[in-house]
Amino acid sequence: MAMDYSKCAKEIYETLGERSNLVSVAHCATRLRLVTVDNSRIDMKRLENIDGVRGVFSNNGQLQLIIGTGTVNKVYDEFLKVSGMSAATKEEVKAAAAAKQPLFKRMIKALGDVFVPILPAIVASGLMMGLVEALGKALPSFAGSDWYGILDLMANTAFTFLPILIAVSAARVFGGNIFLGAVIGMIMIHPNLINAWSVGSMNAADIPVWRLFGFFSIRQVGYQGHVIPVVIAVWLMCKIEKQLHKHVPEMIDLFVTPLCTVLATAFITLGIIGPIFSTAETYVLEFAGWIITVGHGIGAMIMGALYPLTVVCGIHHMYNVIEAGMLSAVDGLNIWMPIASAANFAQGAACLAVGLKAKNRKTKSVAVPSSLSAALGITEPAIFGVNLRFVKPLVCGMIGGAAGALFGSMFHIGATSYGVTGLPGFLITLDYTVQYAIVLAVSFGVSFVLTWFVWKEETQEDGGAEKTEAQTENVPAVSVETAEAGERVLLAPLKGNVINREEIPDETFAAGVLGDGVGIEPEAGEVVAPFDGEISTVAETHHAVGITGPGEMEVLIHVGIDTVNMKGDGFEVFVSEGDKVKAGQKLMTFDMGKIKAAGYSATTAVLLTNSDDYPDFKIVKTGKTDILEKLISVGNA
């Protein structure tokens, strides 16, 4: 029976609290995305039970209703009619949701948005510094060579000009001109100013000062290595620039706005923001150092235990500010790094214990690779994919992280970079190699042993999962030419490695909310039609298509995880809604390099969104596949 889109939209509207409780609404390929005034006014249970709503969840201030491909756009159109609201873009909804977040969350998110893009530069420089320093110590003759000199210059560049990197990234985040932001960063470390690292050895009376207007004085001191003053300065610059764009006549805006923006920001930064916030930053760093060492390392233990929870909450990027500031201090050592490394390594150990102890093959296939990722410093797969799901491994990892952090504090380990933890951390802790090894060993041992004895695998979970694997394992690949007569099949729309739906790194897809199917880790960036059918929907951002085929099969092909945020960059579609297509016809292409560079997974969800209508639904292919190999069967017509 066809869905009544008007009825579905009306029930959603009424359950949400009608117009007085709505801020904005948009939709993507599968979901209605809403921002409400007050979610507590909504009966979530009733909302979930509305015919047509497949799931409800909140994320980053948005209330998201899972409707399904080919359907969500129709419900959305009816929702606009019944609510009287105007259509909004996903970006507008995202902005409205962000504005509702508490100030602290918005500040933490902004810091994360500023620092995450520059991490590759920091990591590359940090690792290069470690390698150059290691070679210099191993080969004394190399330490005085020209090669050492030029490689040391290359390694130090990102840290020497860190304020400029931060300024450019901050201008992008705060919506200003990134080149004006770069100028502000350059002004703060101009060579005519005394290097900030040299000020500590000077008497206050010897520091030159510019005296302006007879009462306003500016110390001729640079802000090399400072973080907070740069971010605040660029935030102010963006505010000034936006106001000037609004009020300056367009005829003279091109030269008046940049000139006034830079002058006003530079004077305020050097005269007020710099001195105040550099002092505040000093106190923050001193407090951070104190909390790590207080009570003979008790503070470090607490932070080692809590670190994974800050990852779960998404606020762990705030540590980048602290670490960058520590590297800018006189001794230039990052003493937060051992805490993060102990916490990350411990979570990896807990995940490995789960992987080795579990009998469930799916759990093993996820846990073991995730533990290796955590050992290299990337813990999200281990935390979100395994430890948080089972809870006890997360807690055991927190205990292991606390133990390791205690030893790190006792040994006074300091790193020469940030953004690197786990095994690669040896390259930036060369003066503490043995101590750092002990920290990792303690973190690993405590976490692994505790998890091994505390975590028990649930039998019910094993049975269900093993049954599914038994149905799909060792099934020979069948090409389109060998499909049985009358058999309704879904062929592989792209080349790659087929994984079970539950392994797709997106909770909505993995849970089967949008239907059953598989994930494909692509080897090539081309998607073809999985059968003869009709295009039912094409995502505005070109990262997903819906297609209806034999027996009314409704299929969603969603390329990548969270790739909607790429806004179409790297994607190209060759079909439109309503187009008739043949099996093997090219539907879209995508740039896997761009997806990876943007920080997203290219894993593609291939889901039969109405799989419940087919009792004979069966996955007939896992592992390596080529395009148009038989992937899913729903029985004979």
310 in a domain, yes or no? no
pLDDT of the residue at 636? 67
Give φ, ψ of 546 to 5 degrees. Answer: -115, 145
Q: 607 phi and psi, to 5 degrees?
A: -125, 135
pLDDT confidence bin for 206, thresholds 50/70/90 = confident
CATH code assigned at 97 = 3.30.1360.60
Query: In this structure, what CATH number is given to the domain that contains residue 630?
Result: 2.70.70.10
Is 323 inside any structural domain? no
**160: in domain:** yes
pLDDT in tens, 18-34: 888 888 888 776 778 88
* Total number of domains in the chain: 4
The reply to whether 480 and 453 lie within a common domain is no
Q: Is residue 317 part of a domain?
A: no
Give the pLDDT of residue 466.
38
In the predicted model, what is the mean pLDDT of residues 443-456?
A: 94
Considering only 65-69, 72-76, 181-185, 577-581, which range has the smallest mean pLDDT?
A: 65-69
My answer on whether 21 and 75 are in the same domain is yes
**598 pLDDT tier (thresholds 50, 70, 90):** confident
Q: 488 lies in a domain?
A: yes
- The three-state secondary structure class of 302 is helix
* Mean pLDDT across 383-398: 84
Residue 467: per-residue pLDDT = 36
Pair (401, 546) in one structural domain: no
Residue 120 included in any domain: yes
Same domain, 295 and 185: yes
The model's pLDDT over 107-118, given as tens digits with 9 standing for 90+, comes to 766 776 787 677
The residue among 426, 459, 492 that closes a domain is 459
42 plus 73 within the same structural domain: yes
Asked whether residue 431 carries a pLDDT value surpassing 70, the answer given is yes
Return the exposure string of 254-274: e unless at least 16 CB atoms fall within 10 Å of the residue's CB, then b. eeebbeebbeebbebbbbebb
Residue 465 lies in a domain: no
Whether residues 496 and 627 share a domain: the answer is yes
620 plus 480 within the same structural domain? yes
Residue 257 has pLDDT above 80, yes or no: yes
Rounded to two decimals, the pTM is 0.50
What sign results for the dihedral spanned by CA atoms 621, 624, 626, 627? positive
Q: Which residues are catalytic?
A: 28, 558
What is the mean pLDDT of the segment spanning 512-541? 88
Q: Is 186 helix (H, G, I), strand (E, B) or coil?
A: helix
What ranges in 64-145 are assigned the alpha helix state H?
Answer: 72-83, 90-100, 103-115, 119-138, 140-143
pLDDT of 528 above 60: yes
Looking up tokens 């994607």 gives 571
Question: Are 136 and 184 in the same domain?
Answer: yes
Which residue segment(s) compose the domain that 43 sits in? Answer: 5-101
- Paired with 538 in beta bridges are 545
- pLDDT for 60 equals 61
How many angstroms separate the CA atoms of 616 and 633, rounded?
Answer: 8
150 and 269 both lie in a single domain: yes
DSSP3 helix / strand / coil % (the chain, rounded to 5)? 55, 15, 25
How high is the pLDDT of residue 497? Answer: 93
pLDDT above 80: residue 533: yes
Q: Which of 305, 320, 351 is the last residue of a domain?
A: 305
Domain identity same for 82 and 124: no
Residue 93: per-residue pLDDT:
59
Is residue 315 situated within a structural domain?
A: no
- Asked if residue 35 and residue 183 are part of one domain, the reply reads no
What confidence category does residue 464 fall into, taking pLDDT thresholds of 50, 70 and 90?
A: very low
Which tokens belong to 506? 């997106």
Structure tokens at 252: 């003279």
Whether residue 180 sits in one domain with residue 300 = yes
